[in-house]
């Protein structure tokens, strides 16, 4: 899933990209829990923005929820939908 380039401030877009890329690399190296934690961190940040009423917060939450589902499916780990 990708976000519209104009929806996020550059700083947040860079953080989002870095967390996603790092999580994937860590998972490929066998560090599934650490990668999952990075994506979970992104989701929690997004939820904070949404709760604060940031205009792009809800979209960022949807991005991270999808990212978490994709990560779990790709690397065979249980996610929120399995709890």
The ranges assigned to domains in the chain are 10-82
Place of tokens 């690399």: 25
pTM here?
0.85
Query: At CA 21, angle to CA 20 and CA 26, rounded to 5?
Result: 100
Is residue 19 a contact partner of residue 3, using CB atoms and an 8 Å limit? no
Condensed to tens digits (0 to 9), the pLDDT of residues 36-60 reads: 999 999 999 999 999 999 999 999 9
Cα 46 from chain centroid? 8
- Reported as a pLDDT band with limits 50, 70 and 90, residue 76 is confident
Q: How far apart are CA 46 and CA 16, in angstroms?
A: 10
């Amino acid at each position: 899933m990708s976000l519209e380039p104009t929806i996020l401030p550059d700083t947040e877009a860079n953080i989002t990209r870095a967390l996603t890329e790092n999580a994937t690399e860590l998972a490929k190296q066998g560090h599934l829990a650490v990668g999952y934690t990075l994506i979970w961190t992104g989701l929690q940040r997004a939820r904070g923005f949404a709760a604060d009423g940031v205009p792009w917060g809800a979209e960022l939450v949807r991005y991270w929820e999808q990212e978490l589902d994709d990560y779990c499916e790709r690397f065979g780990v249980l996610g929120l939908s399995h709890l």
